Structure formats: structure tokens, C-alpha cells
Structure 1
């Protein structure tokens, strides 16, 4: 009954399919990784700053295991989980007692974000730290504008709603984290075309997984969107912005 009351903003099947496509794309040598690399670097900087020395860590969405390799090199026991391979953040975690839990670009497309954060907190050992990074409110303004131009007088939902800093802080408090912190930073990336931008987004798991994604763009609508995206740029490049939201908190 409780599950039936959850908002059905995102399609679990589309979400898994998008992440499986991302996992396949990330096996390519030239796959774009700037979003995950930025999050990885930020996590390592935060851990160094707080001087937290976990013995056991759970990493969710660490595509390519780059963060896992970095932590393993520090003598930390690492457990990897991936939503595309069956791990569900909206259910109680199958094991607990972790000194560190990190989620990379996964929590922005769960229907029960408060519940996922509660499960994350419950899986921590006392004194454990949780860090979750994902694209937040303010991301993809150029894509949003291009899609509106393509749809014309009948706009459809093509970019999903996102969490802002204030809401993120409230969610951490609601989940019972101690010393909750929510902050964001932006990452700007230039693209020569709408197609290149969309290919990059999909290769990094940033795509439409809404339960009601709207009708597909026809050729004329896509041409309008591509032209609007191109016209928003300068010198042959359109800059897209990602607002990366990071939530962190402790279990006391």
C-alpha cells in the first residue's frame, strides 16, 4: 500500500534501461566522463577535508570503479552496487555497518528520494558518512530552451524536475542525518550541436526517464530544437550548464 502512494514521476524500467545504455557506452575508450569525474574528484576532496578514514565503504553508481580503485588503494574495503544491475535505493539496503556510503548520479531519478536517503542513513555505522551527488535544479538550461522551441505551442515534459539546495537540505534533515550539508557547484561544457550534446548526456546516464516522457520529436520539431540550440551559442559552440548538487550527512 505504501508503494502505491509514491509519486510515479520516473519509470523504473526506463531508468534501468538508461543506466544499462550508459554502462555500455562507458566501456568505450573515448566515452565522455566529465560529470562522473567531477563528482569523483569532489568526493575525494571532501574526504580529505573532513579527515574521515572509513574501513568499509559502499559505492553506488561508481561507473568504471574509478572511485572504488582510489579508495581501495587507501586500504578501504569497498562494496560496489549499481541500479542497472538490480540494486534498488528505495528498499532497505541488504547489508549495513558502512563507514562511508557514496552515491554518484543515481538519486535524482528515484521516485522516493526521502526513503532512499533514510535507507542510506540506516545502512551507515555510527559515525559513518554519506555523500550523494547528482544533477540538481538549474541544470540543462540550453537543452530545456531548445526542447521548448522544438515543441512550439504544445510543450511536452522532456527534462525531469530536479532538486535544489534548499530542498536537499530539508531532505537530509527529514532523513535524520546529523550535520547535514547541501551545496551545489556548476560545470559548463561547450557543444557544437544538439546531437553531440544529447549523445554525451546519454553516455553519462543523463536522459529522459519520466513515466510520461511525452511524444517523440518529429523531424521538423527536432530541426527547430537543433537550430535553437545552435543559435544560443557563440563561435560554433553552445555552452550547457550542469548544477551538481551534493548532499552529505553523518550518522551519530
Structure 2
């Protein structure tokens, strides 16, 4: 049985997050989520294996309609509705960055896999919205003398690769895909984030409306520092993770000293000694 962390501080207000997603699901533009789904499918097509029992953890099931026949669709709740050892493929699609316990999510996915089953995930990475984060911080600091949580903290590639190892996956790999979008103003970017369901749902966020003066100043700072051809640029980093449920058939590193042939012989060179001091 998978144990979920009970005493860890909560990062995400699930009620607010679900409200944002419900609005986006009905009237939003989920182009980044669709882009990530396309990339995950491309990666899956390069795996020389047929998967017959897939599961997909996603906040937006419509994006995955028809992509993987017979896939079980699971919402990204704290406790995932996955059956242990029931799947040969589990995809965690664009929700891990909102998880209160990301390691717990990965462990649950691993437990849902059969031996040698494949895990794939896509999530926003640490470079995402770095321009907006800096502009809001500077504007709020100037006008109020303080800072409040406004943009979700997101993991770096090395950190997320380490989470795969902690969760017990074999052959873990993490890589990043930076994307750049341009907008007329910072307000247009913020409108797009709202349409994607990716606006502030942090537990520690300020509950009062942000002062218009802060938003106007942030837009000015953004335009001054991150504009090209009279449009602002916004960075989105997608991080993709791959791991396998452990199995005895998987390749393992050789024990030190177990090589059957010297490296020098394989390279066709002679062994030399390092000069002494």
C-alpha cells in the first residue's frame, strides 16, 4: 500500500486549482498541454513495444481522447485512482508541478506498473514564466516593500530526475524543452495563463485582489526588459521524465573489475604509465 505524506506543508489549494481548470476546460486555449501530449506521443512511438493496458493521469481528459485506445483516465488527485500492477504504461501529463507530494505521485505511478512497465511524464520546469516572476517581484517590491507568492515554484531538470530515482524507477531520464511565446503585453500573457487554468492556486497566495498599480508597473517592467519587436516574450519550459518499473530483465551496470577485456586492447593502443613526480 502506498503511503501519502500526511504532515508535509500544502503547496496547492486544490479547490482553487480545480475552479481554474474548470473554467479553462470550457473556454480556454490549452495549447501548451496539447503540445506536451503531442511530444509524449512522439516519444512513445519511438519505444519498440506495444502497450495494451495504459493509464493517463491528466487534468484535461479531452486532450487525450482517441490518442491511446483503452487507456484508463485518472485525475491528478493526491491519491491516484490507479490499481497496483495493472498497467504496462502510465503517463502523468502536465499536472506534477501542482502536486503537493510529487514523490508520492511518482511512487503511486510506479506501484501501478507491471514489472518492466514504462512511465512517462511531462511537467512545467523551473524556467517557466521567469520573466513574469521577475517583473511581478520587482513591481511589488517597489510599491509595497514586500513580496507575496504569485507564481508556482517549479523543479529543475536535475531535481526532477532525482525524484524518479527516489520513487524507485529504473533507467531514469529527464530532459527539457524550452518554448518561447510572444504577446502584445503582459496583460495578454496573464489572460492566456487564465485560459490555460495555470493562474495562482498557491495555498499561501494573497486572497485579496492584486492592486491594479502593481499589475501596471509589472507590465511596464516586463516591456522594458523582455520585449522584442514591440512584443514581450514569455519562456515556458517543458520537462519530460522517463522511467521503468524495475525488472530482472533490464540492463544493469557491471561490477567494478568484472570487465573481460582491457580498454587498451579494445582501442588497439598500448597501456602506459603516468609519469611520477
Structure of greater Rg:
2
Instruction: Give the helix-richer structure, 1 or 2.
Output: 1
Once the two structures are superposed, what CA deviation does each residue of 1:75-104 show, in whole Å capped at 9, x if it has no partner? xx2122234xxxx2x325342411111122
1:87-166 aligned within 5 A: 88=77, 90-96=78-84, 97-151=86-140, 152=142, 153-166=145-158
The residue matched to 2:131 in structure 1 has which SS?
helix
Does the 8 Å contact 2:139/2:214 carry over to 1?
yes
For 1:220, the equivalent position in structure 2 comes to 213
For 1:247, the equivalent position in structure 2 comes to 241
Does the 8 Å contact 2:110/2:169 carry over to 1?
yes
RMSD: 1.9
For 1:6, the equivalent position in structure 2 comes to 8
1:110 CA drift (Å): 1.1
For 2:265, the equivalent position in structure 1 comes to none
Paired with 2:48 and 2:62, the residues of 1 have a C-alpha distance of 22
Q: Which runs of 5+ in 1 are unaligned?
A: none
Runs of 4+ more than 6 Å apart? none
Paired with 1:51 and 1:62, the residues of 2 have a C-alpha distance of 28
Paired with 1:64 and 1:2, the residues of 2 have a C-alpha distance of 24
Once the two structures are superposed, what CA deviation does each residue of 1:147-204 show, in whole Å capped at 9, x if it has no partner? 1232123121111211111111111011111111111110100010112111111222
TM-score (norm 2): 0.80
Paired with 2:172 and 2:5, the residues of 1 have a C-alpha distance of 27
Does the 8 Å contact 2:97/2:124 carry over to 1?
yes
Once the two structures are superposed, what CA deviation does each residue of 1:94-135 show, in whole Å capped at 9, x if it has no partner? 424111111221110111111110001101122211111111
1:64 CA drift (Å): 5.3
1:23 CA drift (Å): 1.4
The residue matched to 2:17 in structure 1 has which SS?
helix
1:200-211 aligned within 5 A: 200-211=192-203
Paired with 2:24 and 2:92, the residues of 1 have a C-alpha distance of 16
Does the 8 Å contact 1:62/1:68 carry over to 2?
no
For 2:55, the equivalent position in structure 1 comes to 58
Does the 8 Å contact 1:68/1:80 carry over to 2?
no
Of the three residues 34, 39, 42, the one matched with 2:39 is 42
Of the three residues 155, 166, 170, the one matched with 1:174 is 166
Paired with 1:92 and 1:67, the residues of 2 have a C-alpha distance of 18
The residue matched to 2:175 in structure 1 has which SS?
strand
- Number of positions where the alignment pairs a residue of Structure 1 with one of Structure 2: 238
TM-score (norm 1): 0.87
For 2:18, the equivalent position in structure 1 comes to 16
Does the 8 Å contact 1:192/1:230 carry over to 2?
no
Does the 8 Å contact 1:93/1:119 carry over to 2?
no
